[in-house]
Structure 1
């Protein structure tokens, strides 16, 4: 198991400084008197774990900016586990909320995803005298809950320097607790304690396919490996007959070499 990437350690940076992105859907929604298919888009801050959800109306703007995408290999959701798990919980919430009915998707997405930033990061103590748990809303808005506060501040208080300094002190306190209680838990290695050699070229492997019986899993030969930034191989290109497949190493089983 490798160390945390730099994107997970952008400390004391604004939220969404390092962001993971994924789409979900489609859903049938009402637009006037007709029904249309709409996709949702989720942005996940890789450091504070904050979430922003919106509706993806079109990709024309991205196409005009000539953005180059690098996709994860097929059948490897663990490559984007940080946002893939959030996509799953969001789709479950939408399925419970929408069902098979057609509604206005924008309002439903924002209402369903509104409480995602109130999820505590780490352990919640049962002692009421302990400090409140850290949440993404604490780092975004200065309070654990994203709902509006029960008090109304006068305009003079909102623009005063004292109010700004108070917000900065709260943000510093949240970051200190983030470093002390949440960040060390990310480096706990529950598995992958032993060092293993990387996959090499020309190795004969068995490709794990959950959709096929084990006796029908294809056997191929490694034709190319793709080392990561830490020089560890997590993706390989497998040749099966005349076809080439890009597979994650987690889906490959090394077969013993035939002796000379």
Structure 2
């Protein structure tokens, strides 16, 4: 496993360097008879320093809507100097929704870079087919999207109610404990992302006991409280189990070199078709380890992370 990038290790104010990604869609209602539900999306911003999360409701996948969400984010969290993002080329599955997200985000590229240049910040896109390069915001998207979709279920919320749910979810995510505040054995407090945002932990108002089933909630505000409580019950259990130690990438391997013959892992390849190529350029991290390589194939030169490449011959018994 490589070292953390320098942007993750600097003592900077929250959201000065951040990542962003989309998730959705989530359907909302306009409370107008005869009008069908409307697709909405969530822009997930993650701070590289504090790991704090900021959620913004986006009406559609146009560049104008995302720039408006970015302006709301800047108005509340301050102007970032650098924003990292997925280039969306990893969303090439057969799912129509993934293709829609991919095409919309790619179309935003020129407008986002122009807006960022005017405002004094820069957009940095990770290499294609390398979602693990954006593991920080992918984890935030997983925490937010997976459980929001599960708890909302068939409950059709208005945009205002959904924005309230997102604010509650954001507070829950930013209240997660990270490290002890001190070494004092009598100190039972833990540092949370909220400490770096407002100077103390986020405390929710004492929740009123509401029905477990959202359908039984007569008042709309009770429905929002019920969804919040369901999100907390599901997410807290997953978060606790995710804190276990992961034993991955502990054994070093040799660096990928120029002219190495590699087997490229591609999606949707026909049977008995192997994508082979030669390494023509490598990109090293600050630790001297190759992380990305450009490969010359029969169809052209492609850039891939090393976990999508296998050097031939493989030094594995039984092959």
TM-score (norm 1): 0.69
Partner residue of 2:56 out of 39, 50, 54: 54
Partner residue of 1:224 out of 274, 278, 281: 281
Q: Is the 8 A contact 2:14 2:197 kept in 1?
A: yes
What is the aligned partner in structure 1 of residue 74 from structure 2? Answer: none
What is the aligned partner in structure 2 of residue 137 from structure 1? Answer: 194
Q: In the alignment, does 2:9 pair up with 1:3?
A: no
The range that moved more, 203-212 or 239-248, is: 203-212
Partner residue of 2:263 out of 198, 202, 206: 206
Aligned ranges 1:44-83 → 2 under 5 Å: 44-57=46-59, 58-60=62-64, 61=67, 63=111, 66=114, 67=116, 69-83=123-137
Q: Is the 8 A contact 2:171 2:202 kept in 1?
A: no
Q: Is the 8 A contact 1:27 1:38 kept in 2?
A: yes
Long gaps (5+) in structure 1: 150-187
Aligned ranges 1:129-208 → 2 under 5 Å: 129-147=186-204, 191-208=248-265
Q: Is the 8 A contact 1:137 1:146 kept in 2?
A: no
Between the two proteins, the alignment pairs up a number of residues equal to 217
Q: Is the 8 A contact 1:115 1:146 kept in 2?
A: no
CA change 1:108–1:206 in 2 (3 A) is same
Q: Deviations over 1:2-39 (max 9, x none)?
A: 3332211222x321122121111122222353432222
Q: Is the 8 A contact 1:8 1:46 kept in 2?
A: yes
Q: Is the 8 A contact 2:21 2:43 kept in 1?
A: yes
Partner residue of 2:149 out of 86, 95, 98: 95
Partner residue of 2:291 out of 223, 229, 234: 234
CA change 1:244–1:100 in 2 (3 A) is farther
CA change 1:96–1:238 in 2 (3 A) is same
Q: Is the 8 A contact 2:262 2:310 kept in 1?
A: yes
What is the aligned partner in structure 2 of residue 17 from structure 1? Answer: 16
CA change 1:239–1:141 in 2 (3 A) is same
What is the aligned partner in structure 1 of residue 310 from structure 2? Answer: 253
Alpha-carbon separation, structure 2, partners of 1:143 and 1:215? 58
The range that moved more, 64-73 or 131-140, is: 64-73
Alpha-carbon separation, structure 2, partners of 1:64 and 1:195? 38
Q: Deviations over 1:125-148 (max 9, x none)?
A: xxx944211111122223223436
Measured after TM superposition, the shift of residue 82 of structure 1 is: 1.0
Residue aligned with 2:256, SS: coil
Considering only aligned residues, what root-mean-square deviation do their CA atoms show, in Å?
Answer: 3.5
CA change 1:193–1:94 in 2 (3 A) is closer
Alpha-carbon separation, structure 1, partners of 2:271 and 2:250? 27
